[in-house]
Structure 1
């Protein structure tokens, strides 16, 4: 169960960094800011905000998409305590060396791709908690050298429906790897998740390990691999949309609870 840490009584100055000072001020105001690279617009902003605020009503999701440049977005992210990579359109296949797959993909959003790749690099360097959802999982894999299946029906030929049907999420089984982070968070090995994607991980970046799969072998979640775990911040990527599922589903709200807990712990580094 998530419990928000109490603010320390006697505040100590960490350093003179202005980013840290602004970050601390947000904490004094009782706000826990989570950066997102497209929390509104083509995706349902309210569903992400509502999902996280079910855990802590003081969470504020900050949309970085309007930032003019990646540098501007990174600067704004430094005022936040976590990075949420949300759903959205396909990553440009040129980003993972497969330009020839463009015909199978949606028109790319070059601005968003550039922003998110810069945010992932900066968040990792800052040891900031990161959660990737749907497209967010895919761009995480690409950022670390992985590739994507451009179109599951074409490439995999599975009978499992991963896409929406008539605008409604599909549903299918998922299996979590024993001992994985997702299994520890959700406390379940098997369950049912929603599905609204036509792309997924193809070659997983070597720094990651798969932690959940669908019956047709599509990677549904991944995390740091064992060899990369030492000193790494929280990172979890899921292909489904936990924010759109019934909160009673073990593969929904527990993810928000754990992410917010990690964000709160990161915030306390600036509140001492």
Structure 2
């Protein structure tokens, strides 16, 4: 392992023009002591398990909607945005390889949704329509640098340890889908004020999933920076055998 942990970051290159703040994600990981390496999962099937043998951690980044056929949804749903089955397949393969190794994994926004689906959970395809919340979970890409709503952090969670805080915190938000049923083996680590699951953790693996974007707000939010730093630090520890 390198003196600095090498963290594979899954992206979809075709989405970069819309993801106006992705640069900050790589800067944040670097500032927290990691060497981030981008893996474009959106164009063609890749042997991603082999790549993950060379890294110390995995970050599954945000992006467009997960293919609803993976969780019993409607593939013709008009609310769907940018479904990319190639990205889904590559990132699920990456997650399963990391899971098998016990590799520290942080799944963000779409990543939270994808990992839940990969382990048998389901999603609300469109929160305003299907969850019926009055809370605005999707403010727009440009608004990711500002707070959107509060979430309540479980004091016993890994997140609370990383962030050195629990209870209510303010987070940014850019999603229209969310957790309907949480997959077996995960436990809720945070909820929004409307009850939506905003973070969960594995009971048996170093897997943490969050719906908001600390990788974007780390430069002006100390709690977000501590979250990123906590994940990076977890990637330094030896990977246990599973």
TM-score by length of 1: 0.78
User: CA separation in 2, counterparts of 1:121 and 1:253?
Assistant: 27
Q: Are 2:124 and 1:149 aligned?
A: yes
Provide the residue aligned with 1:106 in structure 2: 81
Q: Are 2:109 and 1:134 aligned?
A: yes
User: CA separation in 2, counterparts of 1:38 and 1:214?
Assistant: 26
User: CA separation in 2, counterparts of 1:88 and 1:37?
Assistant: 10
Spell out the pairing of 1:231-250 with structure 2 (5 A cutoff).
Answer: 232=205, 234-247=206-219, 249-250=221-222
Aligned length: 233
Greater CA radius of gyration, 1 or 2?
Answer: 1
Spell out the pairing of 1:153-168 with structure 2 (5 A cutoff).
Answer: 153-165=128-140, 167-168=142-143
Provide the residue aligned with 2:5 in structure 1: 32
Spell out the pairing of 1:53-202 with structure 2 (5 A cutoff).
Answer: 53-56=30-33, 59-65=35-41, 68-70=44-46, 72-99=47-74, 102-165=77-140, 167-169=142-144, 171-186=148-163, 187-202=165-180
Shift of 1:88: 0.1
Check 1:206–1:54 CA distance in 2 against 1; reply closer, same or farther (3 A cut).
Answer: same
User: CA separation in 1, counterparts of 2:102 and 2:12?
Assistant: 22
Unmatched 5+ residue regions in structure 2?
none
Provide the residue aligned with 2:29 in structure 1: 52
The structure 1 segments of at least 4 consecutive aligned residues displaced by more than 4 Å after TM superposition are none
User: CA separation in 1, counterparts of 2:137 and 2:201?
Assistant: 21
For the 8 Å contact 1:35–1:64, the answer to whether it is kept is: no
TM-score by length of 2: 0.88
